Amino acid sequence: MNTDESSLGRCPDCGEDILEAWLLVEYEKEDGSEGIWAECPACDGVVAPE
């Protein structure tokens, strides 16, 4: 069984690593790049991981 989850990045507020399980929304930005919103398990807030 594989328990490794990919990281989406770090919370811009607290620096906590955010895993794919916390992903809320994926979207395309006007410039064509991908944007994401995820919940930070430490802050309990919605952030754009860096």
Q: What is the pLDDT of residues 34-45, one digit of tens each?
A: 999 999 999 999
Considering the domain boundaries, does residue 30 fall inside one? yes
Strand partners, 7: 19
> What is the distance between the alpha carbons of residues 24 and 41, in angstroms, rounded to a whole number?
12
Please state whether the predicted TM-score (pTM) of the whole model is above 0.85.
no
| Residue 34 is assigned to a structural domain of this protein | yes
Residue 2 lies in a domain: no
Containing domain of residue 18, as a range? 7-47
Is the sign of the CA dihedral 9, 36, 42, 14 positive or negative? positive
| Per-residue pLDDT at 31 exceeds 90 | yes
Residue 1 placed within a domain: no
Establish if 28 belongs to a structural domain: yes
Assigned domain for 17 exists: yes
Is 27 among the domain residues?
yes
Closest CA to 5 of 16, 18, 50, 39: 18
Count: domains in the chain: 1
CA–CA distance, 35 with 50 (Å, rounded to integer): 10
Question: Strand pairing of 34-39 and 23-28?
Answer: antiparallel
